[in-house]
Homo-oligomer: A and B are copies of this chain.
Amino acid sequence: MDRVKYLLPEDRLPRHWYNIQADLKTPLAPIIHPGTKQPIGPEDLAPLFAMELIQQEVSQEREIEIPDPVRDVYRQWRPSPLHRARRLEKLLDTPARIYYKYEGVSPAGSHKPNTAVPQAFFNKQEGISRLATETGAGQWGSALAMAATVFGLELEVFMVRVSYDQKPYRRGLMEAFGASVTPSPSERTQAGRAILAEHPDSTGSLGIAISEAVEVAAGRDDTKYALGSVLNHVLMHQTVIGLEALEQFELADDYPDILIGCTGGGSNFAGFVFPFLGRRFRGEQDVRVIAVEPSACPTLTKGPFAYDFGDTAHMTPLMKMNTLGSTFVPPGFHAGGLRYHGMAPLVSHLLAEKAFDAVSYHQLETFEAGVLFAQAEGILPAPEANHAVAAAIDEARRCRESGESKAIAFNLCGHGHFDIQSYMDYHAGKLEAYEYPSEEVAMALSGLPSV
């Protein structure tokens, strides 16, 4: 039987997350306060995050235990399958062996619940009863809504108004899970009221929504803030993906030559590749790693590695990361999860250490690849995941030319069932390619804070 799927039994779900900080050659640059320019400590973060999460953020331990109540929820859809794309291989007439880890089987349809669940759990454990967060199109918000209802927490989501109005379905999913969803900017916060006073018709931005959620969390003892990417502990929670994949490659009696993930804030990429990179760093097994980003928001391939704000409104501390400038607004491509001006500090740090390669694709290339994949494999990828698909197909085509039989593995981080409009636009010839907006980036980078 030609295997098309490698499943792990429920009891082989990882018992620890992998913390790549233990295996870094050089330590991460500290997060610094924008006023004092001094490193900030755990106590500065305490108003916003549960103490356990703050400790995870700075931990140097290689393994951090996944608590049983978190594993109980993970087990509902995890371990997620590792698929062998045999029909795609045949269609491409390639000697490459193509694998994909499929995170679309989660109740929210993406990898986001991998961190939403532990974040909800650790807050609940510390007596917190409410969470506040922001969301753009709603992928993160719906994952956190699912996690919050499972642990009996209230959730307040600030959703960018243009998405609230134009993409109501993920909002409906959040509400069905019991979350309260407020269009941002709102009258609920000082930050929101200030924006509305100046721009009554503001359609909002992720930066504004972050400011509102942070303000709500900072102002109430019963409420903490939750973030869906970028931070070290978020990336670490996602390593359950790569840890499972390592075991699944053992089952397959194979090992990837090339690992591919798409990058927005960096969490699905990190979750998939960090456990493999750790093995390489420790001299156990080599692997080539490729990060794929949109040409229209090319943080890793065009952005400098510099201290910058995490948000547009400059409410956050400064992080050293690849950035296109915190005021950069990416053009309107459909992969909403990749529309972030910065990049996780850990991912940026590893790029600076040349731990992986970064490439960019424009929107039309990614949809062309996604439709080819869908018609071969029968699964419609999320627009974000299409970036990984495009790079994997290109690597497989290179194998056809060179005659090499490499094992190529990518993370299919979510399904496209909430993104059908983008495929309809592609089908109708209405999608733009969106090349690199160099002038807008130069303008935004001119405003980088001096450190």
Partner-B contacts on A (CB < 8 A): 1-5, 7, 9-11, 72-73, 75-76, 83, 87, 105, 107, 109, 146-147, 149-150, 168-173, 175-178, 371, 374-380, 416-418, 420-421, 423-424, 427
Contacts and interface: CB of A to CB of B under 8 A. Distances in A.
A105 B105 contact: yes
A378 B11 contact: no
A176 B178 CA distance: 32
B149 A75 contact: no
A178 B417 contact: no
A421 B375 contact: no
Given A374-B177, A375-B177, A423-B175, A75 B380 contact: no
A142 to B, nearest CB: 9
A7 B4 contact: no
Contacts of A11: 1
Contacts of A10: 3, 5, 7
A170 to B, nearest CB: 8
A150 B378 contact: yes
Given A4-B72, A4-B75, A87-B150, 17 more contacts: A2-B72, A5-B76, A9-B9, A73-B378, A107-B378, A149-B378, A150-B378, A168-B424, A169-B420, A170-B420, A171-B424, A172-B421, A175-B423, A176-B427, A177-B374, A177-B375, A177-B380
A361 B168 CA distance: 28
A149 B379 CA distance: 11
Nearest to A149: B375
B378 A146 contact: yes
Top 6 A-B pairs, shortest CB-CB distance: A172-B420, A169-B420, A172-B424, A146-B378, A176-B423, A149-B375
